[in-house]
Homo-oligomer: A and B are copies of this chain.
């Protein structure tokens, strides 16, 4: 059934779908049989093996495994027949399973977790949009006197960050937001100072976020796919430092470039 048996041909849409299913926890055979069953509506092992690249003898176990996962139905007859569960039901079955495992895993982590007591002359690296946002929020929580936050793109100033910045401003922290992008600037109001980024430092379109907190906390991020696994949207890498001489030095440098004065 495959018009293309070359070992390294361009991956088809089906190949990509199979890979996605594999990352959801299915085996390659299970994924192909599931897809084939949806193609057929109903089918025997033979029919399945004719519309996809799974040997007939392996269809039985793969389909049985799908049935165990609640993703397919079986008819005990000769020949046996299989039919897939509906797409939405299958999606929700997998999602339920994901949520269950997620709870099991993170509940335990929650119980044993310790918060780090700071700290030394450190520069930390963090990869991934969500991870960077997480770090921004934790650093913002320490703010006592002033905060400067910059984001080139709106996606880099998500709702949680906006909220945290507003909370800081409400607590009497002198809060400034800089961005070249108007759509970022207009998300902040009232107690927050908003400013355009000076053209001098805005040249590189790979810059991401900047965060200065008080006099000794700094975070800088850049965007651009680092070709992780396959995190299309997470191409952000940040460095940060807190309560260190290194942080202080970085802050001075950054302030000069931005034309901001942190003293006062």
The reply to whether the CB of A41 lies closer than 8 angstroms to some CB of chain B is yes
Q: Are B110 and A39 in contact (CB under 8 A)?
A: no
Of B14, B113, B115, B234, the residue contacting A70 (CB under 8 A) is B234
Residues 1-54 (chain A) with a chain B CB within 8 angstroms: 13-14, 16-17, 20-21, 23-25, 31, 34-35, 38-42
Q: Please give the distance in Å from A80's CB to the nearest CB on chain B.
A: 10
Binds B, one of A81-89, A146-154, A197-205, A250-258: A81-89
Given A24-B101, A25-B23, A113-B38: A106 and B122 within 8 A (CB)?
no
CA distance A91 to B100 in the complex (A): 12
Query: Complex formed: what's the CA distance from A92 to B130 in Å?
Result: 8
Interchain CB contact (< 8 A) of A114 among B39, B98, B114: B39
Residues of A at the B interface (CB closer than 8 Å) are: 13-14, 16-17, 20-21, 23-25, 31, 34-35, 38-42, 67-77, 81, 83, 85-98, 100-102, 104-110, 112-117, 119, 122-131, 133-135, 137-138, 228-229, 231-234
